Amino acid sequence: MSRAKILCYRILYGYLCWILILGLLFGCQTPVHVSEAPSGPLNFDIILVLPFKDASMTAGESLDTRCPVCGRVFITGEVIDEAANFLTDQLVSRLKRNTNYQIVYTRFTPASLMALYSANETTGATKKALADRGRRHGADGVLVGFVYRYKERVGKGYGVESPASVAFDMHLIRVADERTIWSAHFDETQQSLGDNLFKLGSFLSRGGRWVTAEEMAKSGLEKILEKFPK
């Protein structure tokens, strides 16, 4: 083999190694974004948790919609039945298991939950209404969430026609001054390596397979709650 060919193979090998390294580095980045927790203890005893609201019920699919609490824009999509209930149950269970707060949870019908948010046109009015709800339950904080997409994969674990896609956010509001003191959002649609090589690390961490929406949502919620104020 000529020296020129050997040099070309070495360059190609080095190039592929760099792609692999970059893929692992950038692939480790997650679609989870969490605001800084307040400095110092919260001095909270009781947190009222309200059910996740399905934002697609009012915004429809494939439309931009703003979070009623923070104003962030999400692209809504399909939200399968029971997605909001699943996220709520997971959230309440994890908070009770992993924090020292007294967690108070009240159920709402979809209509009453929609009325709670639709009656307030600004984020300030929404937070006031939520803080008022917290006061009625003797809570120090109110934790709310909104699910914008919860689309199940179409296909099997190692070959899909359409991947899972999940987007939701959460906000903790202090009752005393009606301020948001902590927020987090998760937004992911799993991509193939052909679509985004930089997702290699994420893809490999999932066993090189296509995950379900439930697995994706659980993973996102777990990472978010690692940074929940203590």
Q: Sort strands 141-151 and 165-174 into parallel, antiparallel or unpaired.
A: antiparallel
Most confident of 22-26, 29-33, 220-224: 220-224
Q: Which of 66, 98, 45, 72 is nearest to 183 (CA)?
A: 72
Signed CA dihedral, 25, 28, 31, 32: sign only: negative
Summarised one tens digit per residue, pLDDT across range 74-94 is 888 899 989 999 999 999 999
When pLDDT is cut at 50, 70 and 90, the band that residue 16 belongs to is very low
Q: Which of 64, 83, 55 is nearest to 220 (CA)?
A: 83
Q: What percent of the chain has pLDDT over 70?
A: 75
In this prediction, residue 207 carries a pLDDT of 52
Summarised one tens digit per residue, pLDDT across range 91-116 is 999 999 999 999 999 888 878 888 88
Mean pLDDT score of the chain: 81
* Most distant CA pair in the chain, distance: 82
Q: Is residue 173 pLDDT above 90, yes or no?
A: yes
Instruction: Please list the residues that pair with 173 across neighbouring strands.
Output: 142, 180
Summarised one tens digit per residue, pLDDT across range 114-148 is 888 888 878 999 999 999 999 999 999 999 999 99
Q: Which DSSP string do the residues of 196-214 spell out, in sequence order? A: -GGGHHHHHHTTTSPPPHH
Q: Which of 144, 52, 145, 49 is nearest to 102 (CA)?
A: 49
Cα–Cα dist 103/90, whole Å: 13
Residue type for 200, please?
A: L
Contact 180, 70 (CB under 8 A): yes
In this prediction, residue 5 carries a pLDDT of 53
CATH number corresponding to 31-225: 3.40.50.10610
What is the average per-residue pLDDT within 212-220? 94
In this prediction, residue 62 carries a pLDDT of 61
Q: Is residue 27 pLDDT above 50, yes or no?
A: no
Segment among 111-120, 141-150, 161-170, 193-202 with least mean pLDDT? 193-202
Q: Is residue 13 pLDDT above 50, yes or no?
A: no
Q: Which of 124, 109, 104, 128 is nearest to 45 (CA)?
A: 104
Looking at residue 39, what DSSP letter applies? S
When pLDDT is cut at 50, 70 and 90, the band that residue 181 belongs to is very high
Most confident of 47-51, 59-63, 156-160: 47-51
Most confident of 8-12, 29-33, 206-210: 29-33
